[in-house]
Structure 1
Amino acid sequence: MTEQTIRATITIVEAAHRLGIGRNQAYEAAKRGEIPSIKIGKRLLVPKAAFDKLLNGEAA
């Protein structure tokens, strides 16, 4: 992989897919702070490092 193809974030939809939940449920969980997210412009993104910690049961 080149540096250009390495992403530090995933979309809410990608996070939902990895969690096995629906898109709307993922957006609601991000709004409640259950899924770590950052807003850049109009986009809501999930930092990979924080998401991986969440999946591993570590404190984000």
Structure 2
Amino acid sequence: MASEAQNRTYSVIQAGAMAGLGRNASYRAASTGQMPTIKLGRKLRVPALLWQSILDGQVAADTKQSAPANPLILQERTNIEPAG
């Protein structure tokens, strides 16, 4: 079960590295809402599908908004047109 969640999410540091960020900058991006996060127990994780969509420019990052835990909502979010 834990490995399934890990396949669908990245750690904050892993997600930040994908965007060229270091450890501190990654956690800062997560805390300011520039990186979507969900809390699983005590762990802060980044949803893989949503993060890939943001990095690919398909979805704009919502400031100060955590990613939804519900996969249906996540799917709907990935269909949103980029802002601006």
Report the TM-score when normalising by structure 2.
Answer: 0.60
**Superposition pairs for residues 1-60 of structure 1, below 5 Å?**
7-59=7-59
**Structure 1, residues 39-58: CA drift from partner, whole Å, max 9, x if none?**
11211100000001110112
**Number of residue pairs matched by the alignment:** 57
Partners of 2:24 and 2:44 in 1: how far apart? 13
How high is the sequence identity, in percent, across the aligned residues? 33
Structure number with the bigger relative contact order (C-alpha 8 A, sep ≥ 6) is: 1
Moved over 4 A (4+): none
Q: Which structure features the higher share of strand residues?
A: 1
Unaligned runs of at least 5 residues, structure 1 = none
Aligned counterparts of 2:34 and 2:58: Cα–Cα separation in 1:
13
Q: Deviations over 1:17-58 (max 9, x none)?
A: 111111111111111111111011211100000001110112
